[in-house]
């Protein structure tokens, strides 16, 4: 539903600075900018209605756990998470051009295995045979890698 596009990032004074457009169902609804100076994320909305729709969406998300405590995500945290996901997917896309990336059921969050072989039908069949139900995901398939 929501995602960011066109993310640009660089080293700021107090962390990573970044800027990206925010989209809902492939329609641009605003821009988020973090100047990397500790001041947080700033938003520019195309309309107050879109801002309110995103706030309502985030309010309905379930609490998660952070450092062992219940935690309710904010709009800033949600959009920051979308930016993190965008960057991770860009990294995966680059790697998937020449390698096969997989996750197994017992891997921790964000843990994956990088195989130094291009992904194809034969590799997929071998992975499914070797790992069976332990194979959680072939990351290459997120990006519609042709077999």
Where do the domains of the chain lie? Answer: 2-91, 98-143
pLDDT in tens, 113-127: 999 999 999 999 999
Burial label, 25 (beta-carbon count in 10 A; 0-12, 13-18, 19+) = exposed
pLDDT in tens, 49-81: 999 999 999 999 999 888 889 999 999 999 999
Q: What is the pTM of this model?
A: 0.77
The H-or-E segment that residue 87 falls in is helix 75-96
CA 121 to chain centre: 26
CA atoms within 13 A on the CB side of 82: 25
Distances, alpha carbon 2 to alpha carbons 15, 51, 125, in Å: 24, 12, 34
Report, in this order, helix, strand and coil percent for the chain, each rounded to 5.
Answer: 35, 35, 30
């Amino acid at each position: 539903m929501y995602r960011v596009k066109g993310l640009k990032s660089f080293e700021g004074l107090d962390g990573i600075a970044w800027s990206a457009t925010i989209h809902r169902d492939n329609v641009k609804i605003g821009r988020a900018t973090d100047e990397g100076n500790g001041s947080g994320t700033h938003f520019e909305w195309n309309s107050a209605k879109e801002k309110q729709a995103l706030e309502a969406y985030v309010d309905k998300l379930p609490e998660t756990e952070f450092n062992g405590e219940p935690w309710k995500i904010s709009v800033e945290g949600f959009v920051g998470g979308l930016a993190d996901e965008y960057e991770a997917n860009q990294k995966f896309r680059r790697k998937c051009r020449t390698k096969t990336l997989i996750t197994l059921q017992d891997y921790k969050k964000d843990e994956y295995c990088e195989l130094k072989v291009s992904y194809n039908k034969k590799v997929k069949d071998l992975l499914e045979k070797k790992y069976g139900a332990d194979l959680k995901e072939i990351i290459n398939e997120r990006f519609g890698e042709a077999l």
